[in-house]
Amino acid sequence: MMNRVIAPLLAILLLAASPAGAALAPDAPVLVAAAKRKPVKRKPARPVSGSSQETAPAATPATSPLVTPDVTPDVTPPVSATQEPGSAGSTGSPGTPDSTATQGSTSEPSLDFDLLTPEAEASKGLLDPDLQKDLETRRTMLKLHQGLGLAMAGGLTAATVLGQLQFNESFRGGGDNRTLLAWHRGVVIGTSVLFATVGTLGLLAPDPVERPFQWDTVTFHKIFMSLATAGMITQAILGILATHSYGEITEPKYATAHQVVGYATLGCVAAGIVTLTF
């Protein structure tokens, strides 16, 4: 009786002290049963962790007959049906960066375009040829009118200065020295020709566009230049009368009237220029 109790206990202690007994400590009842000579079925071993199972085949991929390496199919990318001239003879592989850049450049649309029609083409055919011709003629004549008008104003100023100096010599105690009279006449004749030319250009310049009447700078310019025209004609008449009345009592009267009208004419010309300038 004592042997039957002591023998299983000794077996349990020996198994607990040994390394294998530590792993089989949970199966102590099984060992007791084995000591009583009863057949016992052992539990299957615990499965190894998944990390060790995954790393083992990965360490030796060549020795595993069941693992097959991934094979990438050799697929050629589609080629655009519309190619630029000269691109058919290029020998670049589809996977190279040069060929990829070439395909990208040919597929992108060009951004070099203009949404606005050029001015020459846009205005072509919109104007009547006769109207356009008249406008160009008017522009040319008015440019000449402006340039010659400034020259005329300069000549009229010079004629006024010479006339004033000659008036001082003849009628204000200057000894009746008439050496400046010839210069005054020459400048007056040249200025009169310029004045007539400028007025003719302004009057004959075609105006194909109908404009309603309004009080603007052009209207005031025409008024001042009309007064200047009347002053030029009056000056010419008074100058001729003063010359023919030389030595007579009426000569100073004609000369004084000629002087006053001259200054008034110069003022009207200056006002006509200022109205168009400012």
- Contacts for 86 with CB less than 8 Å, ≥ 6 apart: none
Q: What is the pLDDT of residues 105-151, one digit of tens each?
A: 556 666 665 556 566 565 655 667 888 899 999 999 999 999 999 99
Q: What are 19-55's pLDDT values in tens digits? A: 555 554 444 444 444 444 544 455 555 554 444 444 4
Name every residue whose Cβ is closer than 8 Å to that of residue 64 and which is 6 or more positions away in sequence: 57
Segment 151-185, tens digit of pLDDT: 999 999 999 999 999 999 888 876 777 889 999 99
How confident is the model at residue 130, as a pLDDT? 85
**Most confident region among 123-127, 205-209, 235-239 by mean pLDDT:** 235-239
Exposure b/e, 16-37, CB count within 10 A at least 16 = b: eeeeebeeeeebeeebeeeeee
- Residue 213: per-residue pLDDT: 87
The chain-wide mean pLDDT, for the chain, equals 74
Residue 14: both structure tokens together: 């020996």
CB atoms near residue 66 (< 10 Å): 5
Between CA 68 and CA 261 the distance in angstroms is 119
